[in-house]
Amino acid sequence: MEQVMRNFFLHMGKNKVATKVAKKYGMRFGAGKFVAGASLDSSVNAIKQLNSKGLSVTIDHLGEFVDNEAEATRMTKHCIEAIERIAAEGLDSQLSLKLTSMGLDIDYHMTLRNMREILKAADKYDVFVTIDMEDYERCERTLNIFTELKKEFENIGTVLQAYLYRVSEDIEKLNELSPNLRLVKGAYKEAPTVAFPAKRDVDINFKKIIKMHLLNGNYTAIATHDDQIIDYTKKLAEEHNISRDQFEFQMLFGICVDRQEQLLKEGYKMRVYVPYGQDWYGYFMRRLAERPANVAFVLKGMMK
């Protein structure tokens, strides 16, 4: 049943009609637990609250199905505005973005132009930018753009997904760039020809790539709510004398809040991924697909 529910929510997350309806009628039925409102102002308020507790942040202006140049340009300008706001407010925050929001599905070179504009602003204000990874179809293009931009800009990182067979090879290829990587399990529905179907195999591969990247001496963000993975990372760092300055844990806004604060108390760097914006629907569906507990929370909210 759990797999059926996961497939259902992943399918709904890609439904363009449902996305438009959700955007029109706003964040209801529990989405507000995982999304910090629709505006940049709302995300700034969330950042300030998290920073006051000692938590670092990365914000993401959500966008799905950008299919025209004007919309990609608008998203680019908004990212620059967010960078400027982070600097003006003195916030402990980075910026995360998706290349499809910058025009990846429209034109490769236009995407590069938009990213260069964003990264010039990021360099000016010393704000780090992470390129989020999307589904397998866009993986190669995403890494190609990251590789090209990393040769020009320092304040840039990207994401690799443990459920993909190719991920170990990607880490080896990227190592010459000394990249700052966020490592995740992966949240998209992929074919068994490209991704591990079983959670156990994903977990094994996740541990493998965490060890690879840390022992390569590169900065590593371990993005997970899985206590087993967190404990593995702690022990690995102790066994190999890896400084806590070389890695951080990342978790999603509104999920495992107590665990976030506990890791902070233990002296680990803890960053919260804070999404915001009107195009929240696809992100919300993926969060429901990931954990049955999320579905229970939403149903409880609807009953109230």
What positions carry a catalytic annotation? 132, 182
Residue 278 CB: number of other CB atoms within 10 A?
A: 17
Question: Position 57: which residue type?
Answer: V
What CA–CA distance (Å, rounded) separates 15 from 225? Answer: 27
Say whether 92 sits in a helix, a strand or coil.
coil
Question: Position 289: which residue type?
Answer: A
Look-up: residue for tokens 């800009």?
A: 153
Say whether 238 sits in a helix, a strand or coil.
helix
What CA–CA distance (Å, rounded) separates 35 from 63? Answer: 13
Buried b / exposed e over 222-242, threshold 16 CB at 10 Å, is bbbbeeebbebbbebbeeeeb
Buried b / exposed e over 101-113, threshold 16 CB at 10 Å, is bbbbbeeeebbbe
Q: How far is CA 42 from CA 19, 33, 98, 237, 277, in A?
A: 21, 13, 20, 36, 9
Sign of the dihedral through C-alpha 282, 286, 289, 292 = negative
In the chain, at which residue ranges do the beta strands (DSSP E only) sit? 56-61, 93-98, 129-132, 156-161, 180-184, 220-223, 247-252, 270-276
Nearest to 22 by CA among 280, 204, 225: 280
